[in-house]
């Protein structure tokens, strides 16, 4: 490990205290460090004048790793860019739950192990998401956690029809639907009543949100299935699609959302020997 990109969340890392400590540890270990913002900050936000920031697109081509500071949302945002660039990502939690993060801000000393290659890589499946309107593809993206199709902010029901490999699997009316990876099983899907699934499992979760029909239940399909979602025939209004909590896309009647396993995988760096169940127990114990 020779060169590492650090991507701090300026709204969570007060005065960049966490990333400054990480920079010192990595530099002392002989690693070249580049500081890059994971997203555009507000114009009124003042960045520290003693820190030099590079453009992440310029640094990725010869880097070995991206270290992301923040909550799961920040790590999810960076996971797409890192995956498309073929780079592993290491998350440092300075948020709340932090299921995807490997380290807490109090464990930064572990970073020195990167210099000697004392780490493992955990591969996580992603989903490929496409929305087709007539003959046009109006949206395409990948995600690590989930795809949410919802009614939006209005207090009404949205009716959705779900098919697996072209066979009708579920039709539900309610607040919407979540299609999640095993990694995303501990996120929005869990809040909607979905099961917790090990990240290594080869499956795709389909979880209705506040379903109005008591027969609507979460389904767990093989990762080989191709899932399609449409507004049902009795739907009267639009729905909205969001990938990993990103900007919503309006769906119209007749639009076809296709969700399948992506050919790309997110690679997460692991520095600690612990099972998935250790993480689940720790995170939920801390919320009680």
Just list the catalytic residues: 72
Strand (E) or helix (H) holding 84: helix 72-84
Work out the angle at residue 30's Cα, subtended by the Cα atoms of residues 26 and 32, and round it to the nearest 5 degrees.
70
The full length of the chain comes to 288
Q: Is the dihedral of CA 22, 31, 78, 104 positive or negative?
A: negative
User: CA-CA distance, 8 to 12, in Å (whole number)?
Assistant: 8
Hunting for tokens 């046009």 — which residue is that? 136
Q: What is the DSSP string of 197-261?
A: --TTS-EEEEEEES-SSTT---EEEETT--EEEEE-TT--S-EEEEETT---EEE-TT-EEEEEE
């Amino acid at each position: 490990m020779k060169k590492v990109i650090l991507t701090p969340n300026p709204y969570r890392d007060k005065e960049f205290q966490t990333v400054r400590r990480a920079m010192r540890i990595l530099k002392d270990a002989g690693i070249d460090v580049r500081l890059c913002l994971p997203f555009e900050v507000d114009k009124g936000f003042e960045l520290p004048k003693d820190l030099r920031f590079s453009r992440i697109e310029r640094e990725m081509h010869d880097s070995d790793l991206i270290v992301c500071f923040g909550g799961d949302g920040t790590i999810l945002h960076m996971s797409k860019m890192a995956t498309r660039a073929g780079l592993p990502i290491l998350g440092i939690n300075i948020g709340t739950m932090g299921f995807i993060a490997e380290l807490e801000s109090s464990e930064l000393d572990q970073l020195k192990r990167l210099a000697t290659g004392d780490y493992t890589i955990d591969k996580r499946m992603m989903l490929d998401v496409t929305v087709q309107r007539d003959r046009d593809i109006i949206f395409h993206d990948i995600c690590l956690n989930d795809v949410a199709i919802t009614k939006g902010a209005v207090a009404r029901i949205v009716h959705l029809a779900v098919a697996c490999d072209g066979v009708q699997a579920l039709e539900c009316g309610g607040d919407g639907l979540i299609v999640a990876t095993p990694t995303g099983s501990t996120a929005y899907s869990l809040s909607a009543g979905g099961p917790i699934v090990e990240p290594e499992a080869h499956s795709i979760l389909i979880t209705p949100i506040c379903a109005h029909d008591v027969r609507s239940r979460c389904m767990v399909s093989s990762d080989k299935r191709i899932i399609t979602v449409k507004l049902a025939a009795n739907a009267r209004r639009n729905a909205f699609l969001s990938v990993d909590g990103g900007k919503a896309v309006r769906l119209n009647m007749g639009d076809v959302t296709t969700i399948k396993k992506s050919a790309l995988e997110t690679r997460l760096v692991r520095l600690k020997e612990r099972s998935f169940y250790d993480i689940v127990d720790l995170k939920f114990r801390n919320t009680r």
